[in-house]
Structures are given as structure tokens and as C-alpha cells.
Amino acid sequence: MFGTLVVTLPSSYLGGALRIRHGRREVTVETKAADPSELSYVAFFADCEHETLPVRQGSRVCLVYNLIQQRSKGRRRIQKAPEYESQITEAAAILDRFLNAADAPAKIVWLLDHQYSPAGLSFSTLKGADAAKARVLLRAATKAQCAAHLAIVHIGESGEAESDFGYSYRSRRRSYASYEDDYNDIDNEDMDFTAASVDDVWRYIDEWRDTDDRVAAFGRIPLADGELLPAGALDAEPPDKQRVTEATGNEGATYERSYLRAALVVWLQRSMADVLLQAGAVAALPYLKKLAAGGASERPEAMRVAERMLAVWSDYPNHWNAYAIYGARPEPSDRREMIAALVSLSAPALLERFLREAITLSYDGSENSALVSSVRVLGEDSAPGVLSALVSARMPDHPVECAELLLALARKPAYAFSEVAEAAVAGIDRIGTSGAESVTRSWQPEELRPLTPEFLENLLRALQSFKTGTLCDAAAQKIASRPEIFSPVTLVVPAIERIGTRSRKVTTPFDQRVKQYENEIAAMRALLTLADKSGDGALSGRMEAAVKLAPDLNKGKALSRK
């Protein structure tokens, strides 16, 4: 729906005029025809506020129609502005001069005259003067090498309220209430009040559309000072949404009011990353992926954008509240995609910086596959140091995930770096200690995975694949010495049983089987010391049965030598 048509049928009455308001303009239209036998009609856009004045005598009979624009499969041509080439050239010069100034804002946000719901926002459905202005500004933006988009501007505040003269209610039709269901929750009853304090303020732009009327996934981008034009456009405007909550108990009255306006947003094409990064590194990730896939010609810009993103990403923990407002908080999938983009760019220095500054702080194990893929780009000189630093930092609070990373590296002999395995073994001492607090800087607490038999199995299986044969035994000794953390009943014995069962299923020749599992067997022997500490004969029997494979294999090995 884009408008309303009111057709007044032949009838006799007095009064009943129609008052229509849009912005600061107001008109009163007499709907009564000069000849009682004639029809009369009035049409106006749906975002116009309107009211019918009282009918003082007789009856006014009318038909009211909602006007709906039928969408076609192809793109509909928008209303054209006059072909004033000189004005377009002048506008392009103004854009170029304004956006290239030393103190220029990152973007220009020009408010449109009419209201549009997010579902109805597109260049092809702009109304009247908005369509004409957009036509001129789009051509001017192209001349000035700028990008242009449509979007919805959100400006609002909330805080404590003080009633001025008690509660005085007035009914007013809000701009958005006549559209879709998106804004049906708008409160039409307002209390006369004064804002005693402003506790929260938000200014951002979302619901992006490009010049082809496609959705642009930019998310919520902040609206900075000096970007909103025309200057003072909202100064005398009533808010589009306002709600006041009465005082209850110990809590005083509160208010919330906001504007939701459509706007044409323009910025220099070379400033694309600067604009997106206003909303955080995640907002620029799709742009970086597009550049990374663009080949050698796009690589310089991709490297510049990636470096800017790293600076913003690393600073995220210090500004988590802003990210919560604008909805661009980095998620695990974002971290994986960033690693993949840097691997695609073959940028070892930037990749190492990202892993050290961002991944180490936010590691939760979901990045393991991407970390293994990153070794190819990091190289054998840098990869051991980067990954060992990560494991050293996160083994105390994410031992399960670190063991899985170790096992994934062990599956590729070239990636079995002894430094990483040594860091994991050293970290065993800090698992479950008071100093094993998470290094993650985040507003949201982590859900840590509990230690399971699979953790010990993964750890020992991984360690026996690394270059030194002493790591399995060292890990076993550390585990055996701390039964209060590594429970013999629920953790160690089930893990030994799992390892023993797996080793019996090997179908390789006997001597190879012994060699393949000799480090695990040594570890199981060391863990037998827990039998004495357990004080449980049944548990001791289970442990001895679980490692019975060791003497069997040794005996078989001796017989084979004879």
C-alpha cells in the first residue's frame, strides 16, 4: 500500500472536511462537490497523517480505497527528474568537495520526505519528490565516484521521565502505523513529560538496498555526527514512536522515543571499508571475501581492508557494548571465515597477527579445522610458535578442544610440531586449578566442555604421533599424580579401556602393532599407579585388565625375535 483514495458519493451534509498533514505542511480539503449529484475524490500518500472533521448536519457517504502498486518481475522505471545536466554536475562537484575534505564524514545520510516501511523500501517505489531527488543524486554520485544506497535511519533515546501536568493523552496517527505489521506495536497515547535524564541513545542505519533494489547485508551501521542531512531536519518533528511507562513501586517513570526515517546514503567508493568498519570488523567481512575472490587485481585493496579489519577486531573486547547495540559481535563462524579469507589471500603476517591477537583470546575449538589449514600459509618457521602459544594459553580452560587440535595436527606428519605437543603437556598442570581462568575477554560467559575419557584418548593418541617418544609418558605421569582432577573412576579407566580396545583391533603385523602403540602402552603402565590410590579392588582389576595388552605384546615380540 502506497496511498489512500477517498471517493465521496452524492450526498447532502455540512462539515466533514478532510485535514491532511505531511511534514510541516497541512491542508484542509472540502470533499463536498459543488453539485450534490456529482462525485468528488481526494488521494494522498499513506504516510500522510489525516483526520476527518465532524459532520455537523446530514450524512457523508464515501468509499475509501487502499492504493497498491502492482510489482512486476522486471525492475520498474522510477519517476524521472528533469534532465538538468548542469544541476547534476553541480551536485557531483558538491559531493566530491564535501566528501574529500580533510574533516569530511565517512558518509552522507540524506533524509527523504516520505515514509517507507522496510518491506516497501526500494528505488523503484520512491514517491513523488523523493523519486526525483534520488534520480538526480544517483547520477551525481556516479559522476563523483560514490556509492549510493537506500536505508532506514534509527534515532532514539530512553531515560527517566517526569510528568509535566499529570497525564494528558492525545490521539495521533503515527507515520508508520498505516503500513505493514512491522510497526503495529506503536503506542498512540502520549504523556506530556520532561526527560529528567537520558540513559541510552542509539543512532544507526539498517535495511539497506542497493541501486538494483537488492538487499545489501551491511547490518547496523552507526550514524556519526555531521552525517545527517538536511541539517536540523528532525528538530521540529514529533517522534515516530514514543512510549512512556508510569512509575511503579521504587522505580520512576521512564520514556522511550525514536525516529524511523528512510534516507539516501552516499559515500566515496574508495571509502567502502571505512563505512562498513563503523559497525565493526564483521560488517566488512563479506566485502573482504569478495575482494579475496577477485584475484590479483583486487589483492592490494583486500590487503588494506584486512589490515584495517584486524585493528578493529583486536579492539572488540574493549567496546563490546557498542557491538551489542549495532549487532556486529564476532561469532565463531566469523572467526573461521576470517581465517579462510587470510589463507586465500596468502597473507602470512596478517594471518599470524589475527591468530595471536584475536583467535587466542576467543578460541573455543570451532576454529580447529581452519587452524590446521592455516599451517600451509604460516609455514614451518611461524606455525609452531603461533599454535604452541595458543595451546599454552587455552589448555587450562579448553583442554578438550586443544587435545582435538593436537590430534588433527598429528594426522599430518608434517604438521606434528613438537613445540605444540610440549605446550599441551605443560598445560596439564594448570587444568582445574584456580589459575586456570579463561583468558577470553567477553561480556558473555563461556560454556566449558567437561573432561571425558575421549579427551584422554585423543591426548595420548596425539602425543604418541609427535617427534619425541617421552611426551606420552610425561602426560601420563602428570595425570596419574592428580586423581582429584582426572578421576580414576569416570575418566582414566574408561580412557585406558578405549585405548586398549582400539589397539587390539589393529590388523597390521605384530611387530608393527607393538611399535605403533608402545608409547600409549607406556602411558597406560604409568597410569596403573592410580590403582593404589583408588583403594578399590574392582577398579584395580579393571585397570589391570585394560593394560593386559602390554605384557601380551611384549611376550609376542620376544617370541618373534626367537
Q: Which residues pair with 66 in a beta bridge?
A: 4
Cell of 373: 589449514
- How far apart CA 504 and CA 518 sit, in angstroms, is 13
pLDDT score at 390: 97
| Contact predicate 282/334, CB 8 Å | yes
Q: What is the largest CA-CA distance in the chain?
A: 125
Give the other-Cβ count within 10 Å of 357's Cβ: 14
pLDDT score at 261: 93
CA 286, 369, 363 angle in degrees (round to 5)?
80
Q: Count the helices and strands in the chain (H runs, E runs).
A: 19, 16
pLDDT category at 188 given cuts 50, 70, 90 is very low
Q: What mean pLDDT is predicted for residues 157-164?
A: 84
* Alpha-carbon Rg for the chain in angstroms: 35
Give the other-Cβ count within 10 Å of 56's Cβ: 9
pLDDT category at 203 given cuts 50, 70, 90 is very high
All residues at 6 or more sequence positions from 225 whose CB lies less than 8 Å from its CB, including other chains: 105
Examine the pLDDT at 379 and tell me if it is beyond 90: yes
pLDDT score at 189: 46
Examine the pLDDT at 497 and tell me if it is beyond 70: yes
pLDDT score at 317: 55
| Contact predicate 436/420, CB 8 Å | no
| Contact predicate 212/76, CB 8 Å | no
pLDDT score at 191: 57
Q: Where are the domains of the chain?
A: 3-67, 85-269, 450-562
| Contact predicate 112/78, CB 8 Å | no
Which residue has cell 492525545? 170
119-128, 486-495, 513-522, range with the lowest pLDDT: 513-522
All residues at 6 or more sequence positions from 176 whose CB lies less than 8 Å from its CB, including other chains: 47, 115, 117, 182, 183, 186, 240, 241, 260
